[in-house]
Every structure is written in C-alpha cells, then in structure tokens.
Structure 1
C-alpha cells in the first residue's frame, strides 16, 4: 500500500515537472499560434480529464491490489494451516497403520487361539458325550446292582432270622454250660501270657470310690481312653481340646489344640506316639504326641465322624465311621484313605480285632458286623441289640466283645461265634 502511494506521488511530481519544462515552449508557441490556442487548450483539458480518470482507475486498482494481497496472505495462512493439518493426519495415519498391523497380528493370534479352543471344546464335548454314555451305563448297572442287592438283602434277612434263632439256641446252651462264668473271668480279669507261654490271670479290682474328680472340658467330655500300658489318660470334649492327665495325681499333663469341631471319639496308636480324633467337622485329626503338632487332617467323610479306632498291630492303620453310612480305612504313613466300606445303616462304634485285618462295627439297626478291611467284604452279622449299638469294647485277649445298646443293656459276644457265622 505504501509503495502505491509513493508511485502516485512520483507520477504527480513528474507531471508537475513536465508542465514546468514545457511551459516556455507553450508560451512561445502561444504567441505565434494564438489561433491554435483554443484547440490545444481543449486537448489539454481532455488530457487532464483522461489523467484524472487514469488516477481514479489506478486508485481502484490499488484498492483491488490491497484486497488481493490481504486475500493472498489469508490464503497463504490457510494453506499453511491445511499443510500442518495434512502433516498431522499423515502422522495419525502412520500410527493407525502401525496399530492396524499390531491388531492384525493380535487378531491372527486370537484366531489361532480360538481355533485351538474350538478343537479342545470339541474334544471335551466328545469326552463329555462318552462320559454321559458311561454314566448312563453305570446308572443302569447301578440300578441292576441295587435290585440284586435288595434281593440279596431279603435273602440275607431270611438267613439272618434263621441264624438268630440258631444263635438264641446256642446262647441257651452256653448259659447252661456255665458260659457266664467264663465270660466274667475274661472280662473282669486280664489274660496275659508270660515269655515262657504259660497263662496267668490278674484279677481286676472293682473300684469302691473315685480317687480324683477332674473338671476336664467345658460343655462335656465326649471321649476318654488310656494310653497303652500307661497310667496316662487322654480325654476330648465339646471345647475342641484334647487333654492328657496323670491318673496318679489327677493333674493335667498337656493340652492339644487345633481341632475345628467338637470331639466325638478318640484313640491312641499302639505305640502311644499318635492321637487320632474324630470330630463333628467331618474330619479326623492326627496329633504327634512328642511335638504336640497336627501331623495329618484326614478328610473324605461327608458327615460327622462319630467313631475311630487304631490297629493293635500296626501304627499306620486306623478306621473311622461317620453318619454318612461309610466306614473308612486310613493309612497314617500316606495320609489318605485306602478303603471305604458302605452300608445302609450308620455305624455308631467300631474296634479292630487283635490280628489287625478285621474290624467289628456296631450299627443303628442294633446289629454287630464283622468286616475284612483289605477286601471290604462283610464277613458276618449278628443281631446284638433291639435298638442302636452305642459302644464296643474288645477284651485284651481278643476273644470276647462287650457291647452296649440304647435300650440300656450290655451284651457279651464271643468272637468265635462271629467267626463261625463268617464260615471259619
């Protein structure tokens, strides 16, 4: 804009200079050419008009030039902005292409994983179908076995009625021969064999009063047992603790903690190194006596464990019974169940025989049963009580079994009779 103004000033100055330069000539010419003055005057006026028009046109062009320059600058700024935008878009496009490439790789990996999952799912579906077929076959076999078992049970019940009648006759005969006196000697006395093999009898003393009265457990004491060949007593109760007592002084020797339920029964291994507890938490707990630590927590029962006993010949085998209608044989060295015996009537009490291969169990239906723990086979069955059997105790020589029932009676059974019923 300034350049245009300078140009206009220069043109006007030039015009004035030209008028000044030509002034003498004009005066000289005007004298001889006075007659032509009016004509030249008109031409000059016309030229001045044309010059003014030229100035006006030049002014308009200058204004247009200013507008065009402003538009050009705006267009240039807009162009730069668009170029920056294009550059940003190109960068974003590059990033998008990189992300797209990465997503393509991830998609391929996911596709491969999906194909693998589909194939595994197909295999699992095939296995599931096979297992379904097997389950249906097993269910059919189970129904068949149940029918056969019920039929066998009915037949066994008939035979059992006959055996019970025979058993009553045999009891009458044994009583007539003085079996009561023999049983009393075997239960009240302790039969031992010396190293030379000769038998001698040590008569047990009937207590006339209590030596000690011990407040042992809060909520009641549910189980109590002596250590083998020891004067120390082990008790367990509702307070989830096991306590060991000195019977000579009546003092507490030790307390074991860690049981998660009420203690319903307990036993001691024949070497007195472990205490096994049956609890209401559906588990058994095995304590190491020397360290007072829990060595095993045996799980597998689905209801309260109500009875437990240890083998009299092996420190690694114990048996337990629960309200889930099962009797389980456990290996303490391995820490798991090695056999499960299933019966329709719950077992309330059990004990090992002297050989460690068979167990006696007392059930809710009042029957006493003999089992082989290796094969799980029921060897014999005797009706011991009219109501549920509540406890079982085997004599130290292993020949006589003392049971108690809910009808407040005790029964003395000969192990020989049980083995006779078993076919031995």
Structure 2
C-alpha cells in the first residue's frame, strides 16, 4: 500500500501517514528474512528441476543398446543423488512452510493486539479529552469559589468589627442594666415592705371595724331588749327583729338521693330560690326543688351541644360552660337562653360571674381566659395563660384567679393584659374557692391535699389533708361553707371530707352506699344547714 503525501496535506495528515508507514515497516521487518529464504529455496528448486529435466532428456535419447555399461552406471548414480537432494529440499520446503504458517499465526495475533491497543489508545484519548473538559470546569469552579472565599473573608472582617462594637455596647448596656436591676430590686423590696405595712394596717382597720360593728350590734341588741322590756304590752308584730347571721352545720346523714344525668360535672344552689341546679353529660342543666321526702324537677335548660362542665348563678341569671367550646346564659324568670358566648377553641371548664350581672369570666383548655360583656354579647379581653385552665374564682368585679394543669394559680386584673402574679404549687390544680371577705383562696391539688393562700400576702398559710383523702379526677370541686368555717371536698373512694378552715383539722368524713365512685362536686346550701354531693356514677345525695 503506497501512501503519497503532498505539500498541500495538513500537519495531522502528514503525521498520520508517517505513523502508518512506520507501522507497515515494523510489521514487515520480522518476515523479510523468511521471505528471502523462501525466494532462495524456490530458486534452488527451479534449478534442480531444470537439471532433472536435462538428465531425463539425456536418458531418453540414449536408446542405443551398444552403450557401454560405465555410462549407464554413472547416469543412475547421478539420478539417485539428485533425487535425494530433491527430497531433502522438499523437506526443507515443508519446514519453511510450517515456519511460515507459524509466522502467519503470529502476525494475526500481533495484528489483533495492535487493533486492541489502537482501540485502547482511542478510548484513552477520548477519556483524556473528557478529563480535560472536566478539569477546565473544575478550574472555573475553583476560581469562582476563590472569589466567594475572598468576599466571605471581607464580610467576616466586617462582622468581626461589628461584633467587637456590639460587644462593647453590650458590656456598657449590661453594666447599666445591672444598675437598673439593682434599683428595681430595691424598689420592689420597698414596695413589698410598703404592701406588708398596708396589709397590716388594713388588717388592724378591719379588726377595728369588726369590733365597732360588734359593739354597735351589741348596743342595738341591748336597746331592743330594753325597749322590749319597757313595752312588754306592745304586740309582737311591732317589735323589730334582727336577722340572725348564717351558721353552717356539718351534715350528719343522707336525706335524698337521685340520678339526674348520665354523668355529673357541676352543682350550684340558688341563693334566692334555694333551688339546686345540676349539669352533666346529657348536655342539659336541670333545676330541682326538694323537701324531706322527694325531689321535684322544676325546669330543664337546653341549648348546649356537649357536656355541661360548670354552673354559676347571679341574681336572675344562670351561666353554664360546656365542652362544645362555648358558654350560655339563661334568665331564671323565663328559663330562656339569652346569650351564647363563643370564642374558645377547646372545651370550657369553668365560668363565673364577676360580682356583677353583665360581666363573666371563663377558663378553657385552649390555654386562655376570656372576659365577656353580656350587654354587648362580646369578648372584652382574651388573657393568654400558657396552660389549660381548670377553674376560675373571682374576688370582685376586676380581680380573679385561675387554676391550671401546669401546677400554677394565676391572678388577674381584668383591666390588664397579663397576670399580676402567679403561685406554683405541688400538682395539678382542680378547683378554687374564695372566702366571703376575698382575703383567702382555697385550692384543690391532685397530690391529695387542699391548700389555703392569703391573697393579701401571696403566701400559703394552711394545708388540709387526711390519710385516706385522694382526689379522683382533674375537675374535682371543693367548696367553702357559707360562713367560711369549713372546707369540704370529695375523695376518690366515695367519702366526703370536712376540715376546719382556720386550723386545718379534719372534723368529719361522710360516706353512704349511694356514693360508690369518685366524688366530683360538692355544694353547700345558702342557709348552711344542707349539703349536696355528686359522684361519677350519676348519683346526687342531699345531706342534712
């Protein structure tokens, strides 16, 4: 194969022609000696065959019988030598052919190896090209990253400078804050000292007022007794009688029992009519009247869409909270729903009037406490407590307390957005009740105790416990007697416990066959001579 290279060929073509020529030379070089040997052998064979043909012609022309014996003998000797040489050359030719076949197979193997190597070379070139492209991309990325690093270093330098400046500002501010905090702590200490003095002064004034009132009542009684003695002939209707104060009595025996609901959550006596209201899982509030032998259903108040959880009564209005995220207000003159207070996002556990008939406070499991204006049927303020509320108790029109499952009692001013203070107790708080004076608050705790707080000093002053006393659920309600002499609460084993409010001494426990399970609610009659209790087994018992 002749490859002609012209001056017009580019450089890569010249290089390719040179590579092919060099490859051709290398492939032909191992076989040049073999080819030359074969050529010489073929020449020798041709020469021997010509000699043989000449000798044969000589033999055929010598037909004369008179030829001498010496001539014939020499001719046969020469033919024999020639044949031997021919055989030897033929054997040598066979060896040469065999060697050529071996060389051919070697050439084929070498050609296949050359093909594979060329393929590998092409693959390597392709990979080299790809790697070069990747290298270029990586180089570009490295340059970009170096630029980013440079920018980040500059930004970091700026941030370090800003941090140094801020640290200096923080140090100076911290110093000022420490000074202000010290002044604040001193001010708090002075305020607390002043409040303590004010509380002592108020206590002294209250005691003076009580003594003055007692002295005044005593003088009035003496004057009335004197007038009754002087005017003994006057008719009894003309005598001005002084109403005796409420005197609570601890009940002795069960009087009536009945099953008003499929599950009971709330009890409340009406101070005006002395009717008993109950609420439960049947979504209704039922109003009852009773005598010594039977109970009478006065009215059923419907409207709730879930269980009734608490009841409160003020003047002519009854309000009840429900698990349907709302509370409802009924008028007791016609037993009609007048207001529906919606806005909570979870069940409402407690609702109370705030010592007026147009303002209500409600606590819910949605971790909020809401104050409602019944005149506008709207929420006046939403207070975020941060924990699910179990009960509320009001001191007056503006101040109230709420209990929560995070073991805290929070105290609120309805005119403010946040709690004024809070007290941490030892367990979940299930119920609250405030004394008539508003100076003390009693709380029921799931760690099987009741505790009393002095609201004037914000400190615990008394615990109410018993060996067998355990609170059975998160909504168990306690109650103070109407004259604040006794604290009562139901236990997990169906017993009712009565303590002396001042001393914390356990005075009595009551039990009956009608109460088997947990006592969830208790309530004193406004006159103090009757008592109601409800358990989780649907039973209400009236005690006397």
State TM-score, norm by structure 2. 0.40
CA 1:204 to 1:211, structure 2 compared with 1: closer, same or farther past 3 Å?
Answer: closer
Task: Check whether the contact 1:380–1:419 (CA below 8 A) recurs between aligned residues.
Answer: no
Aligned to 1:393: 479
Alignment of 1:317-336 (within 5 A): 317-336=399-418
Alpha-carbon shift at residue 285 of structure 1 (Å): 0.7
CA distance in 1, matches of 2:174, 2:425: 31
Say which SS state the counterpart of residue 297 (structure 2) adopts: coil
Structure 2 residue 182 is the aligned partner of structure 1 residue 182: no
Query: What's the CA shift string for 1:12-66, capped at 9, x where partnerless?
Result: xxxxxxxxxxxxxxxxxxxxxxxxxxxxxxxxxxxxxxxxxxxxxxxxxxxxxxx
Task: Check whether the contact 1:349–1:361 (CA below 8 A) recurs between aligned residues.
Answer: yes
Alpha-carbon shift at residue 403 of structure 1 (Å): 1.8
Q: Using CA pairs under 8 Å that are at least 6 residues apart, name the structure with larger relative contact order, 1 or 2.
A: 2
Structure 2 counterpart of 1:120, from 160, 166, 191: 166
Alpha-carbon shift at residue 354 of structure 1 (Å): 1.7
Task: Check whether the contact 2:442–2:453 (CA below 8 A) recurs between aligned residues.
Answer: yes
Aligned to 1:246: 331
Structure 2 residues not aligned, in runs of 5+: 1-153, 178-246, 256-270, 276-288, 507-544
Aligned to 1:210: 297
CA distance in 1, matches of 2:273, 2:331: 23
Structure 2 residue 364 is the aligned partner of structure 1 residue 279: yes
Alignment of 1:331-370 (within 5 A): 331-370=413-452
Structure 1 or 2: more helix by fraction: 1
Task: Check whether the contact 2:317–2:357 (CA below 8 A) recurs between aligned residues.
Answer: no
CA distance in 1, matches of 2:397, 2:494: 34
Say which SS state the counterpart of residue 212 (structure 1) adopts: strand
CA distance in 2, matches of 1:386, 1:272: 37
CA distance in 2, matches of 1:128, 1:282: 35
Aligned to 2:344: 259
CA 1:413 to 1:214, structure 2 compared with 1: closer, same or farther past 3 Å?
Answer: same
Query: What's the CA shift string for 1:373-405, capped at 9, x where partnerless?
Result: 343311010115621171122233332333223
CA 1:182 to 1:399, structure 2 compared with 1: closer, same or farther past 3 Å?
Answer: same
Alpha-carbon shift at residue 116 of structure 1 (Å): 4.3
Structure 2 residue 491 is the aligned partner of structure 1 residue 405: yes
CA 1:203 to 1:114, structure 2 compared with 1: closer, same or farther past 3 Å?
Answer: closer
Query: What's the CA shift string for 1:181-236, capped at 9, x where partnerless?
Result: 93349xx9xxxxxxxxxxxx999575222112233321211111112xx1321011
CA distance in 2, matches of 1:290, 1:203: 25
Say which SS state the counterpart of residue 345 (structure 1) adopts: coil
Task: Check whether the contact 1:339–1:373 (CA below 8 A) recurs between aligned residues.
Answer: no
Aligned to 1:223: 310
CA distance in 2, matches of 1:124, 1:260: 42
Aligned CA RMSD, in angstroms, stands at 3.7
Task: Check whether the contact 1:329–1:373 (CA below 8 A) recurs between aligned residues.
Answer: no
Structure 1 counterpart of 2:460, from 361, 369, 378: 378
Aligned to 1:298: 383
Alpha-carbon shift at residue 342 of structure 1 (Å): 0.5
CA 1:398 to 1:216, structure 2 compared with 1: closer, same or farther past 3 Å?
Answer: farther
CA distance in 2, matches of 1:127, 1:181: 61
Alpha-carbon shift at residue 241 of structure 1 (Å): 1.4
CA 1:209 to 1:322, structure 2 compared with 1: closer, same or farther past 3 Å?
Answer: same
CA distance in 1, matches of 2:168, 2:502: 60
CA distance in 2, matches of 1:308, 1:239: 18
Task: Check whether the contact 2:327–2:351 (CA below 8 A) recurs between aligned residues.
Answer: no
Query: What's the CA shift string for 1:223-254, capped at 9, x where partnerless?
Result: 11112xx1321011111111111234322122
State TM-score, norm by structure 1. 0.51
Say which SS state the counterpart of residue 299 (structure 2) adopts: coil
Structure 1 residues not aligned, in runs of 5+: 1-107, 132-179, 189-200
CA distance in 2, matches of 1:355, 1:115: 62
CA distance in 1, matches of 2:167, 2:418: 34
